[in-house]
Structure 1
Amino acid sequence: MSKQPEYTIKDIAAEMGVSVSTVSRALNNHPHISEETKVRVRELVEKHNYRHNALAASLRNSRSNTIGLILPRLSQYFPSTVATAIQNKLHEYGYNLMICQSNDSPAMEKELVNVLYASRVEGLIVSAAMHTVDFSHFDVFSKSRIPLVFYDRVPTNYDAHKVKGDDYSGGYQTTLHLLQQGCRRIAHIGGPLTCSIYQNRYNGYLDALKEYDVPVDEEIVFFHELTKENALKTCDVIFSQTSLPDAIFACNDTTAIAVMEYAKKRQVHIPEDLKLTGYSNDPRSEIITPPITSVEQFPYEVGDQAATLMMNLLQHKIKEDSDYVSITTPVELITRASSEAISGADFAGNTSFLSEDGQAKVNR
């Protein structure tokens, strides 16, 4: 079947016997257009299923009222909550949000930057892909004086407005908590250090160990993308060692949950044999048994701050020649049963031996 020609604003004007500009003003509720004309236009719009061409309108008035958002993945708790906050805040100002996923691919991220620029978005908010180290593809926005805001995964070597969580504090608080529970051999499972958030969490981990004069054990420090599959591979390494760590600090809750599942299968009890913490305070961390200690990142506040910063730039509340704005949002360690000390336990240190099947077994 051949496609029916689309009903246009010119068709409305012809049917009413008025100019195209009159119809356009009626559609935009212009005060100089009579209510009778507006009603008639609305009737024809509904009758013929007229679709307003927002792109064509933006080309005419140089405004799209749309902000672009590039994030790694929308399926996870933190980015989806941030995106919701951004959309809600922008809606208060009459702006729409165009959401794109980079799938943690720098190549896809670069392509999306060009697509959003060509789509004439009025600003761009970005959480960088995991392995992005060259941010020059964002120059097309900065050189065109189109507002650009990074959040969460922010560049360390590229000048821009930024909203970031206090990941150093999160790493420090988590490790300090485990040390205060008596742990001295704390494994660290972090993301790639090319990504700012994991570098900062690792730095917090290192400084907390240093404060307690605990040396870093490189055999139980791991860096990779924090997926369930990678977490299970890392568990194969950790749980095959002669001496099991007394704690694991996982830099996201997906990894922490995978570690817990693995430990249960190996009959390693949490927190008696192994203390465990995650990061992000994903709702799953609270309902699993035992519930997992995690770091609350306040994602809604992060999104609200990023959107507010964008609106301040669009409304010229921040002068173009002023310094780049950098906002750090707080984090909070939420302690739960997975890392709590067991009353009466000897926390001076654990000794381990291998069971008959060759698996690490804790002896207190």
Structure 2
Amino acid sequence: MSKQPQHRLKDIAKELGVSTSTVSRALSNHPHVSQDTKERVKQAVDKAGYQLNAMASSLRKSKSNIIGLIVPRISMYFQSAVITAIQNELQKCDYNLMIFQSNESPALERQLVNVLHALRVEGLIVSSTLYTEDFSAFDVFLKANVPLIFYDRVPNGYPAHKIQGDDFQGGYKSTLHLLEKGCRRIAHISGPLSCSLYRDRYAGYKEALKKYSIPLDESLVFFHELTKENAVKTCEKLFGEKPYPDAVFSSNDTTAIAVMEYAKKINLDIPRELKLAGYSNDPRAQIMHPAITSVEQFPHEMGQQAARMIMDLVRQRVNPGRSMISLTTPIEVIKRESSS
């Protein structure tokens, strides 16, 4: 079977009146092959039904033109927006994206790191799981000098390039907005503190309360995976007895939407009796009634930055040496009717 593609390449070369090596270089988009020849080869290849075995080719050349990406869940609005931006940017550079999801499992994440290393991707972009605290699995990329970038959910103290949103400011400005609207019992529903971004959003929340000299009430603070089911359980505790909170700042919009639905069931008026703010500016937040205040994270820009950084590192357009690149993308609180 391994000789069949080579035989077909010889047939194509004979048909076109060029060498087999020219056909091979044309298929690899070699810059020394004319565009006209590349087009002729492509047409002949399509006609013959020959498919280039890209993985075998990459093993021979130690060059795959593939960037690996590990995300927690592809279904998350923020992640899907980042993925689209990364893929679009890489395609401009004739690179492909290989996407895996960790499903919030550190064990699966470690397995995927080894798979992508074995596949010889030229770079790896990662948004880690909620529970990843040991990042040593990524050492194989560092030791092999293969570019490694973390975004959004980034490690503390691990030597890798990072791109993250300004989550402290997101938490601070959201809470400050609710305080400026007169709220004083502001509940905060966030993800596990093992994850960097939730630590930062929680720190921003506390700092805003401090500015208004409001002591932290730990009975109003909850940490868990931000699913609808968990949000309902938290609402049962928050609204199980009075006094109710007069506002809820949640660290994602899925939770904010769930809180809104629960509040309506118990006949709380939003925003008169309860004000809401979420995070990520999920399109669903805009179509709720009332529309939900949220934090815009600019995922498209973050994805573009991740793709451009990985290509700069792959093509050695930048050489940070032992230092690591760290970028912070801005946030913006999008104020809507839920907190008016």
TM-score, normalised relative to structure 2: 0.93
Paired residue for 1:278? 278
Deviates more, 1:170-179 or 1:11-20: 11-20
* Structure 2 unmatched runs, 5+: none
Q: Which residue of structure 1 aligns with residue 96 of structure 2? A: 96
The residue number in structure 2 matching 1:136 is 136
* Distance in 1, Cα, partners of 2:297 & 2:34: 52
2:208 paired with 1:211: no
Q: Counterpart of 1:290?
A: 290
Q: 1:7 touches 1:50 (CA, 8 Å); kept in 2?
A: no
Equivalent residue, structure 1, for 2:9: 12
C-alpha separation in 1, matches of 2:13 and 2:182: 81
Measure, in 1, the Cα distance between the counterparts of 2:255 and 2:37: 61
- Residues in 1 aligned to 2:37 and 2:57: alpha-carbon distance in whole angstroms: 21
Quick check: 1:173 aligned with 2:173?
yes
User: Which residue in 1 is equivalent to 2:150?
Assistant: 150
Residue 308 (structure 2) aligns with = 308
Asked whether the 8 Å contact 1:70–1:99 carries over to 2, the reply is yes
Paired AA for residue 136 in structure 1: S
**1:273 offset after TM fit, Å?**
0.9
1:170-206 Cα offsets, whole Å, 9 max, x none, are: 0000111111111111000000000000000000000
Distance 1:184 1:7, change over 3 A: same
Give the distance between the partners of 1:253 and 1:329, measured in 2 at CA: 19
Distance 2:194 2:42 in 1: 54
CA separation of 1:160 and 1:16: change in aligned 2, threshold 3 A: closer
**Which position in structure 2 is the counterpart of 1:193?**
193
Distance 1:36 1:308 in 2: 30
Equivalent residue number for residue 354 of structure 1? none
Contact between 1:10 and 1:20, CA under 8 Å: does it hold in 2? no
- Cα gap change, 1:240 to 1:45, in 2 (>3 Å): same
Q: Distance in 1 between matches of 2:148 and 2:31?
A: 35
Once the two structures are superposed, residues 251-275 of structure 1 have per-residue CA deviations (whole angstroms, 9 ceiling, x without a partner) of 1000000000111111111111111
Corresponding residue for 1:355?
none
Does the residue aligned with 2:116 lie in a helix, a strand or coil?
Answer: helix
Structure 2 counterpart SS, 1:222: strand
Kindly indicate whether the alpha-carbon contact (under 8 Å) linking 2:246 and 2:275 is maintained by their aligned counterparts in 1: yes
SS in structure 2 opposite 1:279?
A: coil
Residue 65 (structure 1) aligned with residue 68 (structure 2)? no
**Structure 1 contact 126–149 (Cα < 8 Å) conserved:** yes
Deviation of the 1:320 alpha carbon: 4.7
Shift of the 270–42 alpha-carbon distance from structure 1 to 2, 3 Å rule, reads closer
The 3-state SS of whatever aligns with 1:257 is helix
* Inter-partner Cα distance in structure 1 for 2:36 and 2:128: 50
Change (3 A) 1:125 1:28: closer
The amino acid that maps onto 1:11 is: R
Match of 1:335 in 2: 335
The two structures, once aligned, show a CA RMSD in angstroms of: 2.2
* Partner of residue 356, structure 1: none
| Cα deviations by residue, 1:114-143 (Å, 9 ceiling, x for unpaired) | 111111100000000110000000000011
SS of corresponding position for 2:187: strand
State the shift of 1:41 in Å. Answer: 4.6
Q: 1:7·1:48 contact (CA, 8 Å) conserved in 2? A: no
- Structure 1 residues 17-26 or 315-324, which shifts more? 17-26
**Does the C-alpha gap of structure 1 residues 285 and 122 become closer, same or farther in structure 2, counting only changes over 3 Å?**
same
State the distance in 2 between where 1:205 and 1:215 align: 12
Distance across 2 between alignment mates of 1:39 and 1:68: 29
C-alpha separation in 2, matches of 1:310 and 1:204: 30
Distance in 1 of aligned mates of 2:134 and 2:303 = 24
Superposition deviation, residue 21 in structure 1: 2.7
Query: Aligned residue for 2:227?
Result: 227
Deviation per CA, 1:223-277, whole angstroms, max 9, x where unpaired?
0000000000101111102210010111100000000011111111111111111
Deviation at 1:28, TM superposition (A): 3.9
- Equivalent residues of 1:67, 1:95 under 8 A apart: yes
CA distance in 1, matches of 2:161, 2:93: 20
Task: Tell me by how many angstroms 1:23 deviates.
Answer: 3.2
Query: How much does 1:5 deviate?
Result: 10
Contact 2:191 2:226 in 1 (8 A): yes
Distance in 1 (alpha carbons) for counterparts of 2:245 and 2:31: 72
Secondary structure of the 1:309 match is helix
Structure 1 unaligned blocks of 5 or more: 341-364
**Code of the aligned partner of 1:160:** A
Question: Which structure dedicates a bigger proportion of its chain to helix?
Answer: 2
CA distance in 1, matches of 2:240, 2:263: 12
Cα gap change, 1:249 to 1:6, in 2 (>3 Å): farther
Moved more, 264-273 or 313-322: 313-322
CA distance in 1, matches of 2:150, 2:73: 15
Q: For 1:8, what is the secondary structure of its paired residue?
A: helix
Q: What TM-score do you get using the length of structure 1 for normalisation? A: 0.87
Q: How many aligned positions are there?
A: 337
Look up the equivalent residue of 2:182 and give its one-letter code: G
Partner secondary structure for residue 333 of structure 2: strand
Deviates more, 1:33-42 or 1:117-126: 33-42
Larger radius of gyration: 1
2:82 is aligned with 1:85: no
**Closer, same or farther: CA 31–204 of 1 in aligned 2, 3 Å:** closer
The alpha-carbon distance between structure 1 residues 57 and 201, as it changes in their structure 2 partners (threshold 3 A), is same
